[in-house]
Amino acid sequence: MTTSTIAQNASVTSQPYGTTADGQSVEEYILTNANGVEVRIITYGGIITSVQVPDRDGFRANINLGFNNLADYETKSPYFGCIAGRYANRIANAEFTLDGKKYTLAANDGPNSLHGGNVGFDKQVWQASPVEGNGEVGVALRYLSPDGEEGYPGNLDVKVVYTLTADNGLRIDYTATTDAPTVVNLTNHAYWNLMGEGQGAIYDHILWLDADRYTPVNETLIPTGELAPVEGTPFDFRIPKPLAPGQRSNHEQIVFARGYDHNFVLNRAEGDTSVKLAARMYEPTCGRYLEVWTDQPGLQVYAGNFLNGTLVGASGRIYRQSDAFALETQHFPDSPNQPNFPSTVLRPGETYQTTTIYKFGVA
Ligand code: GLA
């Protein structure tokens, strides 16, 4: 185990986590700060495996769903805690056209391509190194995605830095460059339960979103292209409200997705690229909240609709439907095929650069 401790009692530690089925060593990085927050990240998939945060009474719990061993992550993970890419979320009919050339991807979600295809960034072992400075600690992860991998053009050099801040933020800085035109959409796919993983459904969690519009989808969860107002629908979280009523609504969009699994259009003035507060989830019993700060145009709100009791989580409890929520910052789904959505094209000479912060607290 290598440990380093810096000012204000923040530390970054690494230790072996396991070996993949094809023989690659995987390391675990443990980040801690002075307030008792501890985040664990493994180099396989850049997966966040555990986030321990105090509740209102100072009682710590792991609020991040995951497994307690590498084999489960390799064989059955529904994208727990991972870096999703090269294109997070869905691309319709597993194909897109760029500069007049058609690219074919793996159809791994019905007719569509989901989260980068069969072997996305969530299943790669990333190169890692510890990061320290300004009273903060982190881990820098790097992955070189070769030209043609999963059907995507261009060698993509990807860097993702996870930093635990002194004010209880888990900041994620993504950068990527390419040597040929391609499409990029990166996110983290952490599943959260503010009561603690395995502690039951998230129905009583209260959500606030800074979104006047969302992107309605068809039956296969591909956006229709419309930016629809949330007003008068279960998608209106502009005033905080519990997830339960909407999650069980008979609204056609909720029925299509078996609950919330939709991209929201974050409110943002034209040209504003700042990192700003986009969402806040609060659990009134324990008092924990999770804020999402981002510079991205969209936020996928997913309520664990596909968890079905077949996975046993880190602490030995099964995960059932709606036992977690995910707030995935990103560009809109299927942007490569939707000319009216903000572009996800990256060209040589440009740098893809985005930041998201998950900020933990109690109220
Ligand atoms: C995203 C998708 C969901 C589901 C999960 C992974 O959140 O939008 O439909 O596929 O990933 O299970």
Residue 64 phi/psi, 5-degree rounding, is -110, 125
The atom of ligand 1 lying closest to the CA of 302 is 7
Is the Cα dihedral 92, 98, 103, 106 positive or negative? negative
Write out the two tokens for 350.
């440009």
What pTM did the predictor assign? 0.97
Identify each DSSP E strand in 146-239 by its residue range: 156-164, 169-178, 182-183, 187-188, 206-209, 213-215, 228-229
Distance CA 351, CA 162 (A): 18
Catalytic, 328? Answer: yes
- 115 labelled catalytic: no
The distance from CA 178 to its chain's CA centroid, rounded to whole angstroms, is 22
Q: What is the pLDDT of residue 142?
A: 98
Nearest CA owner, ligand 1 atom 7 = 302
How do the pLDDT tens digits run along the chain, 363 residues long? 455 444 458 999 999 999 999 999 999 999 999 999 999 999 999 999 999 999 999 999 999 999 999 999 999 999 999 999 999 999 999 999 999 999 999 999 999 999 999 999 999 999 999 999 888 999 999 999 999 999 999 999 999 999 999 999 999 999 999 999 999 999 999 999 999 999 999 999 999 999 999 999 999 999 999 999 999 999 999 999 999 999 999 999 999 999 999 999 999 998 999 999 999 999 999 999 999 999 999 999 999 999 999 999 999 999 999 999 999 999 999 999 999 999 999 999 999 999 999 999 999
The predicted structure's pLDDT at residue 8: 58
CB 31 within 8 A of CB 162: yes
Distance 177 CA to ligand 1 centre (A): 26
Query: Which of 220, 302, 319, 323 should be mutated for ligand 1, with most atoms under 8 A from CB?
Result: 302
Catalytic residue from among 115, 189, 262, 331:
189
Tell me, what's the pLDDT at 197? 98
At residue 7, the pLDDT reads 44
